[in-house]
Every structure is written in C-alpha cells, then in structure tokens.
Structure 1
C-alpha cells in the first residue's frame, strides 16, 4: 500500500450539513471509501467535534442553522492549520467561489456527483499537509531566497516564515519544481487540483496565484511571473 493510500484510509472527514439526506449520502460514500467520518448539523456541533478529534478535511455547507459555514471554515483553519476545508453549497456565483477559496481548499456546488466529491477529497488530501511519521526525510526545495521543507511542509523566504494553506503550498511547490519554466494553466489544474479545466474552475489558478503574491512579494522582489494567455512561472 502506498503512502497516499495509507493516508486516505486513515483520514478523518468532518461533514457539516444540516440536511440529513445530504449528510447521509456523503457519510455512506466516504465510509465506503474507507474514510473515518464525523457528522454535524450546526456550527456548535462541528466545533465540539473538531475540538475532540482534529479532522483532516472538513466538508462544510455554507448556510447552517446557527451560523455561516465560511466563518466556521476560518475558525477551523485557525484552530487546526493543517486541516483542509472544502465548501459544499448551492451558491455558485463567481464572487462566492473566489471569496470562499480565500481560506478554503476547494468549492463544490450542489447538486453534486458523489464520485466527484470523493475524488475532490482525495485530491485535497494529496496536496494537504501529510503526517511527518509516514513521510521519509527529504532535502528542502530551494529557488533563490525561497526554501520549502517537504518534511515539515514549512516555507521560508529571505529567512522569514511564510504561512501557507495546503493548496497554496502545493501550487508553490509545483512552480518551484518546474524552476524558471512557464507552467500552462491547464497543467496547474491537473497537477495541483487534480481535475481538468472547466468554466467553473477558470479563476481558481489566478485566485491562488494572487494569494501567493500577497504573502511572498512583501519579503523580496516579485517572484511569480505571468505569461498572459499561457500560464505562470518563477522569476
């Protein structure tokens, strides 16, 4: 069994959904694929569960009876920085998607295909922080004054620690591994997000590039370059 397979079999998913029928479908499908699943119907229940058992991935509805799923996502990320956050909601306006991706790792709209949800959870786990006890020691990746530690999943630039979400880290790591080459947008979608380019996902890469620039550029010269109509690379 590979490291990825072992991580997926042991991963814990927190499903926060107030519609019982949807929660049941998600729970049954995820357990079938050997995930550990916790369910909650409210913000309060979700925070209590997350306090007792840190989830590897949280699947969050945006509209909950006692609060906003986006605020819950921020709180979960603050309490457990290594946890991934995926929103599952009927809201599909571009502004909603971009806003949620500011602190989440993926966004799935209702109605959804359950196989797609499972695939997205697996994809998030592949790019999220893995446990150090199942990873071999690996030398850091370096590019200029940037250093990525692939064992601890930490990032430093010019001696400063850079706090990244799992998806931001995965995107930056892929750019570093490609050196100064311009990486096409479609290739980034395949390798970082593990799905093909579609209209719904057309702004995901641009959104995360802007997040990386906001965090990296204050620490040195602009690092990420844009080749309009093609993709992105490192200066």
Structure 2
C-alpha cells in the first residue's frame, strides 16, 4: 500500500464488486488492497495493517465472520461488513465478532465511502480524546477507559471496540436520553442526516445481552438511556 494514505483492505470474492469498490475508494484518496477469500484476507491484514476493512460475509476458504474474529483477535480495526442478507440474526453475529457496521447488498458506492470515512472519524476522535475519567463507576458497572475493560457486578464482559465506545458514551451521560440520530453522529461519526437505526438497535441488544437486559432503557420514539445508578 502507498505510504501516507489511509489504508483500506477490501475482502470480496466477486471480482466485479471488488473492482468497483476499489475504484471508488481509490478515487477518494485511499490506498486499497484486495483479497478474495478468507485466508488471503487474514494474510493481507497481517501484512498491510489497514486502517479499515471492508469485509464480505460470504467468502471461500472461511467466511467473513471468521476473518473478523481472527483479525480482531490480533488488533482492533474498524470493520464494515457486507452481506446479501438483511436478517437481524446475521447482523448480531457480525457485530458480536467485532464488526462496527453493516451494509446490505445492493448498496450505493456513495454510502459505502461515507461509512468508511465515518469509521475513520470515530477512530481519530477516540485517539484525540483526553479522558479525564480513566475509571467510571455507576452502581455495579465499572469501566476502565485506559485498559478498555468493563465489568458488572464483578463479572468481566468482552465488548467489541464500537460496543465499548457506545457504553462509554452512555456512561458519561447516565440516565440522559440519547436519540438514535445523536448516537449515530457522536459514536459512529455518521453525518447528522444519516439513517441507521438498525445499527444502533443491534448494538444496544448486544450490550444488553452482555451486561444485562436492565442496563439500557428504551425510550420509545426517541432513543435510549443508561439506567444503572449514578
């Protein structure tokens, strides 16, 4: 990959789709590497250490979920998953292995590039953030922002990078209602007018599954609020 450019790894077995994504991202100024199967994707991630991975779920060798597991076990990296199915179970599985976002085929290249830019903005914002609170304690919920560790009732929970960022966002505003649009803007870095309520809802379900169903309250028609004691 070219030095000085943000690096994207595109993992897609359909050569035509891969070429289209590569052309669009290259035009946006990214250095792009392509892999067409699971083993090649893991090898390319190790060799090039991309800033973002655009990852198809259905791949030869082993699927995109396994690719995501393997690359996230080595180092945290933003992953945008591509799928031909809009099934929520597939979304939850993908998010559970470390994907940050999902796009269902067919998708527009404009939306894909916007999501890639948003993932990079989120990472850069996290890197710039000066955490005045290294440790947040709310009732039985404990968050160590330096080590990115979370526990509730003394039991540790394994969160993906985006789940952790979402939880910290809530924890710094306990009991305050957070509209979905604000979460998309402030946690994901999406444009204010973007629509992605399923993405938010799926991550909330993952947090409830890992930390307790009573953790986050649904405010119907508005958004969510963290309910653990302040």
- Give the direction of change, closer, same or farther, for the CA distance of 1:120–1:197 in structure 2 (3 Å limit): closer
Alignment of 1:28 onto 2:23: yes
Coordinate RMSD, CA, aligned: 3.0
Alignment of 1:230 onto 2:222: yes
Q: 2:91 aligns with which of 94, 97, 105?
A: 97
Deviation at 1:217, TM superposition (A): 3.8
Q: 1:54 aligns with which of 41, 45, 49?
A: 49
- Give the direction of change, closer, same or farther, for the CA distance of 1:137–1:197 in structure 2 (3 Å limit): closer
How many Å separate the matches in 2 of 1:153 and 1:38? Answer: 29
- Give the direction of change, closer, same or farther, for the CA distance of 1:53–1:158 in structure 2 (3 Å limit): farther
Deviation at 1:67, TM superposition (A): 2.6
Show CA shifts across 1:182-210 (max 9, x none). Answer: 11233323333325564xx4433222112
* 8 Å Cα contact 1:12-1:37 kept in structure 2: yes
Query: How many residues were matched structurally?
Result: 220
* 8 Å Cα contact 2:136-2:143 kept in structure 1: yes
- Give the direction of change, closer, same or farther, for the CA distance of 1:177–1:10 in structure 2 (3 Å limit): farther
Deviation at 1:39, TM superposition (A): 0.9
The match for 1:19 is: 14
* 8 Å Cα contact 2:142-2:150 kept in structure 1: yes
Please give the residue correspondences for 1:12-161 in structure 2 after superposition, counting only pairs within 5 Å.
12-80=7-75, 82-103=76-97, 104-128=99-123, 138-140=132-134, 142-144=136-138, 146=141, 148=143, 153-155=148-150
How many Å separate the matches in 2 of 1:19 and 1:182? Answer: 42
Normalised to the residue count of structure 1, the TM-score between the two structures is 0.76
The match for 2:205 is: 210
How many Å separate the matches in 1 of 2:221 and 2:135? Answer: 28
- Give the direction of change, closer, same or farther, for the CA distance of 1:151–1:87 in structure 2 (3 Å limit): same
Deviation at 1:50, TM superposition (A): 1.6
How many Å separate the matches in 1 of 2:149 and 2:7? Answer: 22
Q: Secondary structure at the match of 2:81?
A: strand
Normalised to the residue count of structure 2, the TM-score between the two structures is 0.78
Structure 1: state its 5+ residue gaps.
1-8
Show CA shifts across 1:71-100 (max 9, x none). Answer: 2222222222x1122112322233333332
Deviation at 1:113, TM superposition (A): 1.4
Structure 2: state its 5+ residue gaps.
none
Q: Secondary structure at the match of 1:207?
A: helix
Q: Secondary structure at the match of 1:64?
A: coil
How many Å separate the matches in 1 of 2:178 and 2:169? Answer: 9
